[in-house]
Structure 1
Amino acid sequence: MNSSENHLIVTSISEGRSTVGPPKQRAPIVTLTPQRGSLATTLEIPFMRKRLILLCVLGGIVAGWLAIVVLPRAYESEAKVFIRSGRESVTLDPTATTSATISMQKTQESEILSALEVLNSRQVAERVVDKLGAVAILDGQLPPNESDPTKSADQGIVVSLISKLTPLTEMASGLARNVLLSAGVKDNLSSQELAVRRIQSSVKIEAAAKSTVISIHSKSKTPEMAQAIVAAMTDVFLDEQLQVARTRGSLDFFQSQVAKVEQQLNRLQADRSDFMQEHEIVSLADSRDLMKDKLSIVNRDLMQASGELQKAKASVKDLLSKLDGEDDEIIAEKQVAMDETWSGMRLQAYSLELQEQNLAANLTDDNPKLISIRKQLDGARRILSQLESERIDENTTPNPLKVRLRESLQEQQTRVAALEFMIQELAKSRIDLGNDVDQMLIHEGRLVQMDRDIASLEANLLMLRRKEEEARVIDQLHTDKISSIHVFQPATFVERPASPNKKILGIGFPFLGLMAGLTLSFLGEGSSRTLRTVADVENKLGVPVVSTFPMLDGKPGGGIYRNACQQLMAEILTTHQRPGLRRGRTLGIISVDGGAGASTLAANLAVTSNLDGHRNIILVDADSRKRSLSNLFELNGSPGLVELLSGSASHDECLQSVSGASIGVIASAASNNQGVLTNGPAEIAQALEAYLGDCDLLIVDLPAANQPDQTLALAQCLDYVLVVVESEKTETLAADRLINRLSKGPAEIVGVVLTKKREYLPGFIQRFVGFPV
């Protein structure tokens, strides 16, 4: 029992002494802090384990400092390249430009992506390695003759120490590499391959969205090497960009193609001229108009002759109908007269001869019109040869009317024959003209195809000459190394190391230490085997917590204990009542471990019940080993429970009164008696029954459950049992074992009292989150 517990008992009894007559002013009753939920429990964990967290934070600070000191320095260099659309971004590919193609406009984004692909290619990395040397890249520094001679040799004690340790680390690294190579885990790569991999991993190429600026970053052990890598990467990129944009042999290809197309064009133009001379074509338009006029005349004559033929056939039909109605002869003299039909045909033949003479004088013999007139003249002459020039009339005179009709009929029949022959000749002439037109169209199609081929070759020649000029310009740009890529920020030289980042390490390691401390705190709390909070007791033991006593740490707490004891006695005396039992109830107070404050709780319950509840209380010290109550009330010289059970003292001799309070106390044993209780629980309970008629409540201070004392079984013979659990000390397994043992007996477990509960959460946080302080 500690000094703070003694102070509480003394305070309570001193207040009792002043209650002779009218009671004095009592200490103000302080309401116990209500039990809070998991939020308060969670918030308490960091404050409960603040030493662990502080230790982890300090460890993080030390680790951060060591990381800043020990980690190797890495220096960074950066170059920025601006890309604009230029002529060298247009590649002349002979296989894509000698035929019809669809022009695809390059976007700014595609050009940036293409440049990024070139920069990230292995070809560029290999050329950088060839330029700087594989050994220099792997060592992270330029050879001595290329490094900065003005570099300061004073690097500080820590850096000098690290530089001295570098050979050891390199030796260890080489040894580990040899082991991995021997085990087959690591591949045996050449220095060239390792340098290329180093370049690919240490160089970072990036471009911001919607920007034509490409940034080239590189890290190395020295600023000189970082600058050299970026500068070499920039130079190689400029050269590769020009090589990519240039198609080798484009100029020679286009020059040969121009010569070839010119030759084809000249040959096709000569073929066209020969074809026109062969077919006597001066102009397609004039020939087409002449042929059109001839065909129009023939069609007109044919239409006119067809009309006259129909008219003549109608006259012949009419004359035949009239002849049928007339007599053939009449009486007359015989006369010889000129035949009018022959005369008419002779006149018509004469007219055709005149026309033939006129056309022969103006046209050639193969003229269609002259040929037609001659054919008509030949027909008229054949008819004249068949007719007689004279007609002999006999004495009988033919009917003059019928004769005239016959003459008219013969004339019309002759006309019909002449017109039919004319129509036949005109139809032949039209067929001939159609054949001439078809032939002319064939010639015209051939000439049109030739003109198209000539136009196509001329367009192709124009395109090839333009491409030839573009190829010449691109070759000249490549020769003069003119590019649209502008390096507006060359490779920078930065003396301040980019890593390790002191700010991040200085903040990150303490933060990691804080997180580690919090994690260990919560893991420790989650894996704790002891009971700390009300929630732990109720969840793990399944028994309600009826009261909580805080750890005072030397602070005055009489009011807090008094208030807690009042509530606890009210719970026992009013709530937990058995039917038919009015007085003389027994209450056992037992703790799981020694030093949990069970004796202090029993004394406070007895004093508070007597002073505040005006109850007759008898307090029994059944712990014959520690005898805490006997020492507290200074009853070591009085006989006690051991003497009562042995028969050496009576009940009245064992019951001692406490001055200032109407409570009776039974010691465990006299001071000169070192014996312990060896009697059974039934015998002890029977000895205590004699006191039940003189008290309202008999409180028995039982030994702790972890002590080898048979009086522990006495708890099962009492009416009520109150289990005392010390916060953060009592183990869950021991408490659970005690609860199980008590639950098997007839005694009613009132609940658990949690003692020495520490408040870790500061008051300002409790007020901030709304917890009562």
Structure 2
Amino acid sequence: MADQEIFERPAPRQNSLRDFVRILFRHKWKMLVFVVATVGTVVLMTWAAPYYYRSEAKVMVRLGRESVTVDPTATTAGPIVPVSRTREAEIQAELEILNSQSVVRKVVETIGAQAFEAASIQAQHPVKVWLAGLMPSGGQSKVTVDPKEQAVSQLARSLTIERSGGRESNVIALRYQAPDPQFAQKVLAATIQAYLDEHLAVHRTQGSYAFFSQQYELSKKRLESLQAELDGLKKKLGVLSLEEQVTIALGRADRIKGEITTTQAAISASSARIAKLQAALDKLPETVVTAKTTGSLPNPTADAVKTRLSELRLTLEELASKYEEDSRPIQDLRRQILKAEELAGQEEPTRTSITEGINASRVTLEGLLLTEQASLAALQAQIEVLNKDLEAVNTELANLNEIGAKIRDLTREIGIEEAKYRRYADSLEQARVDEAMQADKISNISVIQAATLPMLPAGPNKSLLAILGLVLAMLGSVTIAMVAEHADHTIKTPDDVTDHLSLPTLASVPLARRSQIAPRAAGRSIFGFFRRRGKEEDVRWTLPSVVKTQYELLREAVVFACQHGNGSNGSAEYAQEAAPEEGAQTELSQPGRKARRAARPKQRLVGLVGSQRGEGVSVVAANLAAMLAERGKVLLVDANVKDPTSHEIFGIRVSFGLLDVLQGQKEWQRAIWKTPVPNLDLMPVGTAQADEVDMAQFQRVIKLVGRQYDYIVLDLPPISEAGYTLRLAGLCDQVGLVVEAERSRWEVVRRTREYLDRVDAKVLGVVLNKRRYHIPGWLYRAL
């Protein structure tokens, strides 16, 4: 497959408007059938549908007691705070009441279930009734449904309730439709009346007046009892004004505390003075010297010390004669002498005479101390008295506080009871007003438009339904076309070939009648054409221009591939310069044959094969061979032994051919027949019978005839019908895969290519045969 590398697979393409239009034109018949069926069904259903009439009414929700008050029984433990609901919540609540089952059931009870049943029968669609009659019952008994429940369900479905004028509006619109205008008006009027009654019942509390009247009397008695208890407590304790008594007691306590502070300061000052006087007395002696005489009296102590010193010295002299100088007695005696000398030095030789008397300063300070101590004792006695007075005042304040707590408790209970009393009084008044309004059926709902009597039917709008049916049919038809296209896996365009097979499209042959796509003799049809052997006749090419252009493209692709191939497979055998077999007849002279061999391309054996029967392989092979005949001598070999058709295309009777040569019954020269097309010969299947082709004999025959022709075109049988097709394809220098557009599924064709790859067949590309161009030429060019 090296020759196919010159074709590159393009990037994934984007769907264009042409692709969309092509899909629509391709499935136009499906679309047309769907549109006709849908529009017909819609028109039939609309035409047979009965008319219905719509009665309308409007009610307005005003600001009233329901908007700004709460249920008087909502609370009894705390103060009642009037809460104003938002208008949105209030309107939503009214919508819920209107849609409630209680309102619907009241309407059914008022009108009667039989009336709703009659209206339901009148409103049934004739087609629905007819279809219901066609459906088998299956032997099962029908489920019995209560007529009243059916009427409730019918009314709930047919009644429309919504806000009128947007979210800010306080108007509610009601609509009811029925086949009878009087019945529609009657039902809607009954609905409004049932709603008004339900509104009063929902916003009123029965029995509230009696309840609050009882609670009002009980609260009043409780309040009087608490007030009497408070007055008795004040009289019993003799307390007229608790606050004044507390103020007086607090004043006395503050005054006593001030005196205590002053006395404590005086005590501190007196104690300090006493301490100073005592310190001064401690420093003064009790007596003082009144007379003093110096130096006239002897000192006995000094005299005694001196006498003792003399005695010690005498003793030292005595011991010195007896003991050594450093002996212990001598040393002790010397220390005594030194001590006596020291004492003698401290004593005066004479003494002084002193006379003492009472200290007057001390006597004076003692008098002041006694006076200050007496003052301190008085101050201490005074502070004891003040502390007792303060304790008495504190006791009095404690008693006043205890009494005050009792009074406050009673006062608080009286306040709470008074709040209850006022609340019960307000609730009693509100309950009285509610009962009066309920008796007179007064509410905040106003009927601003009563139920109307419709004079003209409200529907169905048959013109609009027909238009919608047409639009639906068109959209559905487009959807069907797109779904059918998506589910269709056949190869339709060259883009499909590229996307699914990764192969180039050699030619895209348009679909045409067989009489337009085959060569024939001038003035004769292809079926009436009879050629005598060896006689040349004029041939006119009957291909339309668009078809001929595609075959020209196919021819150029084949010629290019043959001239630039690598000479693999069987092409090497064609290029051999072997001598012709003995007895072989040739039309060219030896110099002519050499000239033709020199100009002959390297690869000349071209096979055309399809995945299944009926894809037009034989017609493509015949036309390709006819086009190649313009470039050189061509031999068309019909190798489809099970369904040969090449001889019919060229108007040749069944005679000797390929199988006769392969089985050795005829020489190959007698199996070749000339065609009306110049330079084009045909080797038909022949008259012999065989299910397969002998590959060895086939190669030998092709080798012999290949020397006489520039190109050999093989018309191969489908891959699915002949096992030898793959072996023949493997011998070809180039293989063209013929695919019938909009018939061959790409999965099947891909599998065919895989089979060809397994035998190393050189698949040149795809010939998209019988392609249908669904878009008109003028529209295609416009797009």
Structure-1-length-normalised TM-score: 0.62
Tell me what 1:675 maps to.
687
Asked if 1 retains the 8 angstrom alpha-carbon contact of 2:506 and 2:553, the reply is no
Asked if 1 retains the 8 angstrom alpha-carbon contact of 2:660 and 2:688, the reply is no
Asked if 2 retains the 8 angstrom alpha-carbon contact of 1:73 and 1:499, the reply is yes
> Between the two proteins, what is the percent identity of the paired residues?
25
Tell me what 2:100 maps to.
121
Given the alignment, which residue of 114, 136, 140 partners 2:115?
136
How far apart are the structure 2 equivalents of 1:464 and 1:705? 103
How do 1:492-507 and structure 2 match up within 5 A? Answer: 492-494=452-454, 502=462, 505-507=465-467
Tell me what 2:712 maps to.
698
| Partner-residue secondary structure (3-state), 1:140 | helix
Tell me what 2:428 maps to.
468
How far apart are the structure 2 equivalents of 1:621 and 1:300? 145
Q: Deviations over 1:526-548 (max 9, x none)?
A: 55575434455567777654322
Tell me what 2:605 maps to.
586
Q: Deviations over 1:554-606 (max 9, x none)?
A: 75336513532342333432244415554573333345666654454344434
Tell me what 1:247 maps to.
205
Letter in 1 for 2:633: N
Q: 1:433 to 1:741 in 2, by over 3 A?
A: closer
Matched, 1:61 2:22: no
Q: 1:223 to 1:413 in 2, by over 3 A?
A: same
How do 1:369-380 and structure 2 match up within 5 A? Answer: none
Tell me what 1:194 maps to.
150
How far apart are the structure 2 equivalents of 1:595 and 1:419? 145
Two-structure CA RMSD over aligned residues (Å): 5.8
Q: Unmatched 5+ residue regions in structure 1?
A: 1-33, 143-158, 326-411
Given the alignment, which residue of 614, 635, 638 partners 1:618?
635
Letter in 2 for 1:578: G
Q: 1:413 to 1:219 in 2, by over 3 A?
A: same
Count matched residues. Answer: 622
Q: 1:225 to 1:649 in 2, by over 3 A?
A: same
Given the alignment, which residue of 100, 109, 121 partners 2:88?
109
Given the alignment, which residue of 628, 635, 641 partners 1:609?
628
Q: 1:218 to 1:610 in 2, by over 3 A?
A: same
* 1:202 to partner: Cα distance: 3.9
| Partner-residue secondary structure (3-state), 1:62 | helix
Asked if 2 retains the 8 angstrom alpha-carbon contact of 1:128 and 1:236, the reply is yes
| Partner-residue secondary structure (3-state), 1:96 | coil
Q: 1:35 to 1:306 in 2, by over 3 A?
A: closer
Given the alignment, which residue of 205, 217, 238 partners 2:196?
238
Tell me what 1:549 maps to.
509
* 1:59 to partner: Cα distance: 0.4
How far apart are the structure 2 equivalents of 1:709 and 1:298? 137
Q: 1:495 to 1:55 in 2, by over 3 A?
A: farther
Q: 1:441 to 1:716 in 2, by over 3 A?
A: closer
* 1:56 to partner: Cα distance: 0.7
* 1:96 to partner: Cα distance: 0.7
| Partner-residue secondary structure (3-state), 1:475 | helix
* 1:243 to partner: Cα distance: 1.8
Q: 1:56 to 1:437 in 2, by over 3 A?
A: closer
- Larger RCO of the pair (alpha carbons < 8 Å, separation 6+): 1
Q: 1:735 to 1:283 in 2, by over 3 A?
A: closer
How far apart are the structure 2 equivalents of 1:577 and 1:414? 151
Letter in 2 for 1:675: T
How do 1:387-536 and structure 2 match up within 5 A? Answer: 453-494=413-454, 502=462, 505-522=465-482, 524-525=484-485, 531-534=491-494
| Partner-residue secondary structure (3-state), 2:70 | coil
Q: 1:502 to 1:441 in 2, by over 3 A?
A: same
Q: Deviations over 1:196-226 (max 9, x none)?
A: 3444444444445455444444444444444
Tell me what 1:568 maps to.
557
Q: Deviations over 1:342-384 (max 9, x none)?
A: xxxxxxxxxxxxxxxxxxxxxxxxxxxxxxxxxxxxxxxxxxx
* 1:47 to partner: Cα distance: 1.3
Asked if 1 retains the 8 angstrom alpha-carbon contact of 2:123 and 2:179, the reply is no
Letter in 1 for 2:210: D
* 1:757 to partner: Cα distance: 0.8
How far apart are the structure 2 equivalents of 1:306 and 1:727? 129
Asked if 1 retains the 8 angstrom alpha-carbon contact of 2:621 and 2:636, the reply is yes
* 1:241 to partner: Cα distance: 1.9
* 1:122 to partner: Cα distance: 2.6
Asked if 1 retains the 8 angstrom alpha-carbon contact of 2:610 and 2:739, the reply is yes
Asked if 2 retains the 8 angstrom alpha-carbon contact of 1:644 and 1:654, the reply is no
| Partner-residue secondary structure (3-state), 2:446 | strand
* 1:62 to partner: Cα distance: 0.8
Q: 1:484 to 1:651 in 2, by over 3 A?
A: same
Asked if 1 retains the 8 angstrom alpha-carbon contact of 2:63 and 2:444, the reply is yes
* 1:247 to partner: Cα distance: 1.9
Asked if 2 retains the 8 angstrom alpha-carbon contact of 1:576 and 1:750, the reply is no
How do 1:208-287 and structure 2 match up within 5 A? Answer: 209=167, 211-270=169-228
Tell me what 1:179 maps to.
140
Q: Deviations over 1:680-736 (max 9, x none)?
A: 544455345433223321234456778899999866655444343332345778867
Given the alignment, which residue of 659, 662, 669 partners 1:651?
669
